[in-house]
Structure 1
Amino acid sequence: MNNHIKNSLHINKIGRLITMVKINNLLAKAIVCWCLSIAIPAFGKEISTVLATVKNSPQAIVPQNKKAMANFEQGANLYKQGDLKGAEAAFRKAIQLEPKFVEAYVALGNTLDDGGKPQEAIAQYQKAISIDPKFAKAHFFLGNALYVQGKFPEAITEYKQAISVDPKHAEAHYYLGNAFYAQGKPAEAVAEYTTAIRLNPKNAASYNALGNVLYAEGKLEEAIAQYQQAISVDSQDGDAHYNLASAFYAQGKLDEAIADYTQAIRLDPKHAQAYTGLANAMDDRGKPQEAIAHYKKAISILPDYAYAYYNLAITLGREQQTQEAIVNFKKARELFQAEENNEMVEQIDRLIEKLKGSGE
Structure 2
Amino acid sequence: MPKRVSLFSACLILGLWTAQPAFAQALIPHAPQVDFEKLEQQGLGLVQEASQLAQFNQNQLALARARLAVQLAPKRPEAWAVLGGLYLETNQAEQAIPALNQAAALDPRNAAIPFALGTAYFQKQQYEESIKHIQAGLKLKPNVPGAYFDMGNAYLMLKKNREAIASYEKAIAQEKQFWPAINNIGLIRYEEGKIDEAIKLWRQSVALDPKTTTEPQLAIAVALFRKGNQTEATTLAEAALKTDARYGEMKFLKDNLWGEKLLADTQKFFALPRIQAAIAQAQSEQAAQERPRGQ
Instruction: Provide TM-score, normalisation by structure 2.
Output: 0.69
Pick aligned residue for 1:283 from 194, 218, 225: 225
2:63 maps to 1:116: no
**Counterpart contact for 2:221–2:236, Cα < 8 Å:** yes
**Counterpart contact for 2:40–2:72, Cα < 8 Å:** no
Q: Describe the SS at the equivalent of 2:235.
A: helix
Pick aligned residue for 1:301 from 230, 236, 243: 243
Unaligned runs of at least 5 residues, structure 1: 1-58, 61-94, 318-324, 336-360
2:285 maps to 1:314: no
Q: Describe the SS at the equivalent of 2:52.
A: helix
**Counterpart contact for 2:63–2:86, Cα < 8 Å:** yes
TM-superposed deviation, 1:310:
9.0
TM-superposed deviation, 1:315:
4.5
**Cα gap change, 1:111/1:168 in structure 2, threshold over 3 Å: closer, same or farther?**
same
2:93 maps to 1:152: yes
Cα RMSD, aligned residues only? 3.1
2:193 maps to 1:252: yes
2:217 maps to 1:263: no
**Cα gap change, 1:316/1:247 in structure 2, threshold over 3 Å: closer, same or farther?**
closer
TM-superposed deviation, 1:231:
0.6
Output the CA distance in 1 between the equivalents of 2:198 and 2:89.
31
CA deviation string 1:25-68 (max 9, x = no partner) = xxxxxxxxxxxxxxxxxxxxxxxxxxxxxxxxxx98xxxxxxxx
Output the CA distance in 1 between the equivalents of 2:232 and 2:130.
38
Pick aligned residue for 2:149 from 208, 211, 220: 208
Q: Which has the higher contact order (CA 8 A, sep 6+)?
A: 1
Unaligned runs of at least 5 residues, structure 2: 1-35, 254-262, 283-295
Output the CA distance in 2 between the equivalents of 1:166 and 1:234.
28
Larger Rg: 2
TM-superposed deviation, 1:311:
5.8
Residue identity over aligned pairs, in percent, reads 23
Output the CA distance in 2 between the equivalents of 1:109 and 1:179.
19
2:173 maps to 1:232: yes
256-265 or 239-248: bigger deviation: 256-265
**Cα gap change, 1:311/1:281 in structure 2, threshold over 3 Å: closer, same or farther?**
closer
Amino acid at match of 2:180: D
**Counterpart contact for 1:272–1:301, Cα < 8 Å:** yes
Instruction: Provide TM-score, normalisation by structure 1.
Output: 0.58
CA deviation string 1:222-262 (max 9, x = no partner) = 11111111111111222112112212222233343223212
**Counterpart contact for 1:310–1:332, Cα < 8 Å:** no
Output the CA distance in 1 between the equivalents of 2:155 and 2:243.
29
